[in-house]
Amino acid sequence: MTIFDIPYQTPSVLQVVWLILVAVLWIGFFVLEGFDFGVGMLVPFLGKNDQGRRLVINTVGPHWDGNEVWLLTAGGAMFAAFSGWYATLFAGLYLPLFLVLVGLILRGVGFEYRSKNESKTWRNTWDWLIAIGSFLPSLVFGVGFANFLKGITVGPHTTAFGNEVPVVTTTFWGLFMPFCLIGGLLFVALFLAHGSFFIALKTRGEIHDRAQTYGSTLGLIAGVLALVFVIWGNLTYQLDGQLAWLRVAAWITGILSVVFIAFAWFMNSKHRDGWAFVGSTLATVMLVVMFFAHFYPQLGFNNQGMTVPIDLTTASSSPATLKIMTIAACCLVPIVLAYTAWSYFYVFRRRLSTANIPALDVTTAA
């Protein structure tokens, strides 16, 4: 017997708690890595020379690799708490996840290698690879989460041992429906705006002013896309078993995400960098909460022909595993949140400028 042969039951308290904790980890990733992706995409555009681009990169220099740990933690929590969820997604969506991996590798190598050579061509090349490496995960995650909201189709597959397991039947190109493309563009625009507000918060001088200008345009685009996405998604898609109050919660959090984007755009126009960044942060939080409101209890799957549908109960690990994980999370999560807040709000709280960045000596390709 596999976890997929367990009859449907009402989700336990620990199963609901771990769905919430997984949501919290994804929120942490999209909030922190979101502005990281935005900064990466803006590197070739905000910096008009090497000093400017180095300044843009330095705003996330102490954080970018640590922010990616939230993705590993979210994936690890899904694997440990809902192994059926994790296995079905990673087996059926390996090509999109491969694109995410390619993007993360390009970013990481770009951040580490651009300073290894003073050649202008060398650095410009890595700057564009950082931008591409930041764009790919943003787009793929947006398309992916839009598909989860819509419902990724899964069907039964009989193994050599006679067990029925769920497999994703949606094709790769089937993931790129118009609604899902809107989701991808929304994530790209939101992260660009989020990154612009972060750069404005962390810099002064010409880069600061240019980041505010970009933020005004990008915030407006993100707000329009969010409004279309929220209305389209909540009006059109409802998975089996979704509770009425969660549909209401999805509407409320979706509209709040649009409101907070508008708030961030307004604060940016008033040159209130801190409040603009708070607004884009809250918009990201509300958007992720809206997604997870749609995930319960089917975890973003649209079961077709399954004898035992995959959901919060059938994809879950054992109660003993969830109990041990809960004890560990209660001990470790507060520590992680504390040192993250300490590093952002105390250690790296100062603004940066090009005044302390020496000009590049070699201006042509070596």
Q: Does residue 366 surpass a pLDDT of 60?
A: no
pLDDT (mean) for 83-105: 89
* Distance between CA atoms of residues 230 and 228, nearest Å: 6
Q: Does residue 4 surpass a pLDDT of 50?
A: no
Q: Does residue 16 surpass a pLDDT of 70?
A: yes
Do residues 341 and 31 lie in contact, with contact meaning Cβ atoms separated by under 8 Å? no
What pLDDT does residue 241 have? 64
What pLDDT does residue 185 have? 97
Q: What is the pLDDT of residues 300-341, one digit of tens each?
A: 888 777 777 888 888 888 899 999 999 998 888 888 888 888
Domains in the chain, CATH or no CATH each = 9-344 (1.20.1630.10)
Q: Residue-wise over 266-282: b if at least 16 C-beta within 10 A, else e? A: ebbeeebbebbbbbbbb
Taking the CA atoms of the chain, what radius of gyration do you get in angstroms? 21
Query: Going edge to edge, which strands form the sheet with 152-158?
Result: 164-168, 152-158, 301-303
Q: What is the pLDDT of residues 112-160, one digit of tens each?
A: 998 888 888 899 999 999 999 999 999 999 999 999 898 888 887 776 6
Q: Does residue 6 surpass a pLDDT of 50?
A: no
